[in-house]
A and B are shown apart, each in its own frame.
Chain A
């Protein structure tokens, strides 16, 4: 697959970068989203409890 692209035209390479780039950006930000959700679920309540305690 990559060999085909390396020998391909610039427009083919550009389309590949566009496709993989957009998927990559979404994938990485989905990971960040999951991290935020994980941290939020695990620690938002702790924050609230600390507030109430104060």
Chain B
């Protein structure tokens, strides 16, 4: 899909830069997509069925696919807009656009088309409330976070975290046609989980972010304040993870899983405050496991 210009001196260089389907798959940030699918599924699975709302499991499956497509679309739009800073960061310089595998204009077209497709598929297969929430999420991530927040405010990932927190809400709307407290609790858990997760990464990749001039907390406010904020958000996150049990949506098994994994989260956050070597990486990796185990715990508790 490269732009080709034939001039008198010969053939344009872009002619031979072919992109494979795998490059487009990478453009969609597959790891983020998998997390979105998982959290949306938990939102769908944990929703209490509503008698007045008819749903079909296959349509719900198509709905989850549409949510994944929407997440991928926003990832593509994000990579299109950030292609200039992606070149400057070691972490992102291997992405398809900085590598020259995909032209920025192609990434933009791909992102816009897949966004529209995902919204239409979700609207037709499930309902238009879910579709409008997906449209809002894509716009929030691609415009509010990527264009407005990321380069201009230190609170970028705090506010931008809302984009990643919407999938369970969309999942519940797919199941019931309405937004309920269950999914809002899941929203809150992801929202509070995002800052410690990304600030731990920012501490590890501080130089990378500084090279790209992104105002992450460790660069703007320093490492000490970042470490303190990680602990504060961890203390907010762990009690909030108990809300499904407090509101009686989950049982004692979930309470056990959330408490044990939450205490470990706090322990690792304390190690960050104490500046123990490798504690940042340790928390970053554990935070991914933590979110997975908490959300899986909700599902396991419901099944048992």
A binds B: no
Query: Which A residues form the contact surface with B (CB < 8 A)?
Result: none
